[in-house]
Amino acid sequence: MAEPLPEFDLHGFLPYRLTVAAERLSAGMARHYRDKFGISTPEWRVLVHLAHSGEVSVRDIEARVSMDKSKVSRAATRLEAEGYVAKAVNAGDRRLVELSLTGKGRDLMAELIPLAGDFQTRLERRVGRHLAGLEAALKILMEEQT
């Protein structure tokens, strides 16, 4: 007979709960931009990062949005094919591909950003008086570990 496993409360395990919550929130937001604009979650993450940061490398997006390089590259390729993103080789390091929003991409983000803002407002209302504590906890959890 196998040794019994140690007791473990999966539903009380914070990393599990945060992952499930993040996936549910991401899926809720994704329905809005997928249905209206036909873009995927990785494409949204690339677009919103470019709207926030300007011209950046695939490597930078990969690091900042916690996505595999291959997902970032595929999303960028599709966004380029749709005319939302322009690619250019970095003059200082030819191994890096720089991405930037095109005019069409900026127009898309002008429509997407208000949707994201509305989604944020609804979440803040749901969390209510707990928002400040949640924000403080997330800040701690998102700090780089040394």
CA dist., res. 68 & res. 111, Å (int): 27
- The total of structural domains in the chain comes to 1
Contact 42, 85 (CB under 8 A): no
Domain-located, residue 106: yes
Residue 4 counted as domain residue: no
Q: Domain with 100 in it: what CATH number?
A: 1.10.10.10
Q: Report if residue 14 sits inside a domain.
A: no
Range of the domain at 104: 24-121
64 with 144: CB under 8 angstroms?
no
In a domain, 88, yes or no: yes
Residue 46, domain member (yes or no): yes
The label of the residue with tokens 């997902």 reads 71
Residue 12 has a pLDDT of 94
User: What are the CA-CA distances from residue 43 to residues 14, 17, 133, 139, 143 (Å)?
Assistant: 28, 25, 30, 25, 25
User: Which helix (H) or strand (E) covers residue 86, if one does?
Assistant: strand 85-89
Question: Looking at the domain assignment, is residue 132 inside a domain?
Answer: no
Residue type, 110: A
pLDDT tens per residue across all 146 residues of the chain: 889 999 999 999 999 999 999 999 999 999 888 988 999 999 999 999 999 988 888 888 888 887 888 898 999 999 999 999 999 887 777 777 889 999 999 999 999 999 999 999 999 999 999 999 999 999 999 886 54
Burial 42-76 (b: 16+ CB within 10 A, else e): bbbbbbbbbbeeeebbbebbbeebebeeebbbbbb
Residue 8 covered by a domain = no
In-domain check, residue 38 = yes
Cα atoms in the 13 Å half-sphere on the side-chain side of 30? 12
